[in-house]
Structure 1
């Protein structure tokens, strides 16, 4: 949690951030304990967020979660910045051509932040706009991490926690995989992030070589093997170049 603020506006935003850090929800008592505020203060702040639509309250479980107003504003920001609106048709074309779900993500701290997804005709992605994925287990994250100039330091800072039995948790093995990604130009993972899912991602570079984002295709393992996704790298890299040309400067 960020340092506690001294005014009600700051406290409200801190409470909103706390809800964002707890996607499964939190009770008023838990919020008070985490922030150090009196229960009455936490209850009042959460109540104000519910009234404004920035939080939702389940009377049965007594749990508060982020409200739809947050999603609405996030969508407006994304479209204003061009991270979603300017590239959605490109991902739609990619999905239509390949038949698989497509994902656009950017780096946010030590996570990959999903900006835009287009579901395939039969199966949806396992991530939604606004979700954060681990850099070391997800294809979109590995594509970003591989081109981090301070990748070694980042790996040391990461908690290489296993999400599945196939996740890479050894720093040396992760470094070897990142070197392979840089050599091949793509990052592939088979059930490292989600059981039953394969994904393949490529980096999105600016004209000056700066890393902007990563672009991925995802498919259930029974639908496409990782090798079959690799065969789609040409379409993926072509779309990545088109996305880079539209990226906000």
Structure 2
């Protein structure tokens, strides 16, 4: 038996915890957290065998914990590569902490510059399952937007969601369009799948998405995709404004600046494989 397996077997065969920690199940919790830390060392993914070797735990233990992490959203599994990686839930939680502590993300300088140039709020989001996940926001000087980093929102009613849908791989786009809940957020919210397909096709043709009081009453927005050099969708970037001070046509005038900011982000943001 190899040293790794011996160590893992010994750990798994260990007796109950000290009485100083009654009913302590943190041994399992600690192992799960250890796997999360190890996955952080493999941003592009690691096989179960790599995690077993690095952790020293038995394969059965690693497999059980990895399955739990995937089921709970803390990790993702790619059956094509048989690799695990950290899930967006970890990122979402980190963003909440980062916002509370005032940390600046890599993208914030770009968003701040965009807001200064346009006078409107800027938002950056990524696709997270059947929702968009807000990554960063910068409020305009005259208003506050209604989403915060870490918040998730509907794809069909938002400019961010429509940009993410329109420029996702076709298989992903088709699956989401056919399955997402088309619940209405306002009286103007889109509620028909064929209309959504038409809007997404228009979005792909013109290169940007919009919404006019469909996601939040009194708010309009335009969004563009952030595309990696190879053409892979990375994120979506939007400008949003209350309609009492800037209508949709006014926001569209800022599309050149929005596209310039998206190109800058594309060169700076880390890419998911």
TM-superposed CA distance for 1:74, in Å, is 3.4
- What aligned pairs does 1:198-213 form with structure 2 within 5 A after superposition? 198-213=220-235
Structure 1 residues 165, 76: closer, same or farther in 2, change over 3 A? closer
C-alpha separation in 1, matches of 2:97 and 2:149: 12
SS in 2 for 1:202: strand
CA RMSD of superposed structures (Å) = 2.5
Structure 1 residues 223, 107: closer, same or farther in 2, change over 3 A? same
TM-superposed CA distance for 1:125, in Å, is 1.2
User: Which residue of 1 is the match for residue 87 of structure 2?
Assistant: none
C-alpha separation in 1, matches of 2:109 and 2:221: 21
- What aligned pairs does 1:96-175 form with structure 2 within 5 A after superposition? 96-148=116-168, 149-150=170-171, 151-175=173-197
State the TM-score, normalizing by the size of structure 2.
0.62
Structure 1 residues 77, 92: closer, same or farther in 2, change over 3 A? closer
TM-superposed CA distance for 1:71, in Å, is 8.3
C-alpha separation in 1, matches of 2:92 and 2:229: 32
- Is 2:253 the partner of 1:231? yes
State the TM-score, normalizing by the size of structure 1.
0.68
TM-superposed CA distance for 1:115, in Å, is 0.3
Stretches (4+) displaced over 6 A: none
Out of 213, 216, 224, the residue aligned to residue 194 of structure 1 is: 216
Structure 1 residues 159, 73: closer, same or farther in 2, change over 3 A? closer
Structure 1 residues 85, 8: closer, same or farther in 2, change over 3 A? same
Larger Rg: 2
TM-superposed CA distance for 1:75, in Å, is 5.3
